[in-house]
Structure 1
Amino acid sequence: MARPRQFDEDTVLRSVCDQFWDAGYAATSLQDLMRVSGLGKGSLYAAFGDKHELFLRVLRLYVASLDHAVRGVIDSAPRAVDALRSFVMMPVDDPTGGAARRGCLLANSATELASADPAVAAEARRAYEGITAVLTEGVRRAQVEGDLSASADPVSLARALLTTQQGLTFMGRTGMDAETLEATAHSLAAQLLPTR
C-alpha cells in the first residue's frame, strides 16, 4: 500500500513556481527544486513527474490564475473601459518596479522556451487566446456602455491590448526605469482606450 503524501501539494507548487519564475527553466536545477520544495528527488518525481512535467503543471496553474484574475478585474469593474486600462497598466502597478523586472511567468517562459518546446508554445498560445477572449468581452461591454467606439473590432482591440501589456512587461524585464515605463503605459493606454 502506498504511503499518504506528507506534504501540501499547493505549497510545493507555489514554491516551485517562484523558482521557475525567478530563475527560468534552464537555470533551475533538480537541486533547486528539491531545496525550494523540501522534497527529495524520489518524492518530487513520484508526485509531479520529471522537471518538464512539473514545469508544465506550474505553468498551467499560473495561466489559470492569470485568466481568473483578468476575468475578475473585468467582471467586477463598474465600467469595463477602466478594467481594460487597469489591465494595460498591470506591469507598472508596483511603484518599486520589482514586478516589472520580474515580468510574467507566461511571457518569460514563452520567450525562453516556445521556439524549441512545442508543449510550452501550445500552452502559451492557449493562454493568450483565453486572455484575448476575456479582453474581447470587456471591449464589447465597454462599447455597450458607450466608452469605446462601436466601430472598433473587439477582437482586434483585445489583441492590441494584450500585445501592449506584454510589450510593457518585456520592457520592464529589460530594465527600463519605472518612470519611463509608466509614462509609456499611460501613453499607450490613452491611444488604445481614448476617453470619450
Structure 2
Amino acid sequence: MARPRGFDEKQVLNAVRDQFWNAGYAATSLEDLMRVSGLGKGSLYAAFGDKRRLFLRALRSYTDDNHDHLRKALTEAPRAVVALRTILEPPIGDATGAGKRRGCLMANSTLELGNADPEVLDHAHRTYETSTALIGDCVARAQREGDLPAEADPIALARALLAAQQGLLFMSRTGMDTATLTATARSLANQLLPDPHDG
C-alpha cells in the first residue's frame, strides 16, 4: 500500500507557481523549487515529475483557478455590463499584497516558451479560447439585458476585451504609473462598453 503524501499538493503547486510567475521558467532552478515547496528533489519529482512537468501542472492550476474566478465574476454580477467592465480594471497589484506587477502567468509563459514548446502554445490557445467563450456568454447576457447593441458579435467583442485586458497587464509590467494605467483602463472600458451609470 502506498504511503499517503505528507504534504498538501495544492499548496505546493501554488508555491512553485508563484516562483515560476516571479522569475520565469528558465531562471527558476531546482534549488528554487525545493526551497519554495519545502520538498527534497526526490519527493518533488516523484510527485510531479521533472521541472517541465511541474511547470505545466502549475500552469494548468493557474489557468483553472483563473477560469473559476472569471466564471464566478461574470455570472454573479447583477448586470452583465458591470461584470464586463471589471475585466478592464487596472492591474495595480496582485494577490500577494506586495504590489508587484507580474502580468499574466499564461501570457508570460507563452512569450518565454511558446516558440520552443508546442504544449505551452497549445495550452495558451485553449486557455484564451475558454476565456473568450466565458466573456462572450456575458456579452450575450448584456445584450439580453439591453446594455449592449443586439447586433454586436459577442465573440468579437469578447476577443477585443481580452486583448485590451492583456495589453493593460503588459503595460503594468513596464512600470506605467498608477494614474496613467487607471486612465488608460477607463478609456478602454468607455470605448468598448457603455457605462451603466450613464443615462
Q: Same fold (TM over 0.5)?
A: yes
CA distance in 2, matches of 1:189, 1:92: 16
Question: For the Cα contact (< 8 Å) 2:30–2:51, is it kept in 1?
Answer: yes
Aligned residue identity for 1:27: A
CA distance in 2, matches of 1:91, 1:148: 25
Following TM superposition, by how much is the alpha carbon of 1:184 offset from its aligned partner in structure 2, in angstroms?
0.3
Classify the secondary structure of the residue corresponding to 1:98: coil
Question: For the Cα contact (< 8 Å) 1:132–1:159, is it kept in 2?
Answer: yes
The alpha-carbon distance between structure 1 residues 93 and 22, as it changes in their structure 2 partners (threshold 3 A), is: closer
Would you identify which runs of 4 or more consecutive aligned residues in structure 1 move more than 3 Å?
none
Classify the secondary structure of the residue corresponding to 1:21: helix
CA distance in 1, matches of 2:110, 2:23: 14
Aligned residue identity for 1:178: T
Normalised by the length of structure 2, the TM-score is 0.93
- What is aligned with 1:5? 5
Identity of aligned residues (%): 63
Count of equivalent residues: 194
CA distance in 1, matches of 2:98, 2:191: 23
Q: Deviations over 1:107-131 (max 9, x none)?
A: 1111211122111101111100000
Following TM superposition, by how much is the alpha carbon of 1:167 offset from its aligned partner in structure 2, in angstroms?
0.5
Following TM superposition, by how much is the alpha carbon of 1:3 offset from its aligned partner in structure 2, in angstroms?
3.2
Structure 1: unaligned runs, 5 residues or longer: none
Higher helix share: 1
The alpha-carbon distance between structure 1 residues 93 and 73, as it changes in their structure 2 partners (threshold 3 A), is: farther
Following TM superposition, by how much is the alpha carbon of 1:194 offset from its aligned partner in structure 2, in angstroms?
2.1
- What is aligned with 1:29? 29
CA distance in 1, matches of 2:4, 2:103: 37
CA distance in 2, matches of 1:20, 1:74: 28
CA distance in 2, matches of 1:163, 1:80: 19
- What is aligned with 1:173? 173
- What is aligned with 1:98? 99
- What is aligned with 2:193? 193
Following TM superposition, by how much is the alpha carbon of 1:143 offset from its aligned partner in structure 2, in angstroms?
0.5
CA distance in 2, matches of 1:112, 1:60: 16
Question: For the Cα contact (< 8 Å) 1:92–1:185, is it kept in 2?
Answer: no
CA distance in 2, matches of 1:78, 1:141: 11
- What is aligned with 1:19? 19
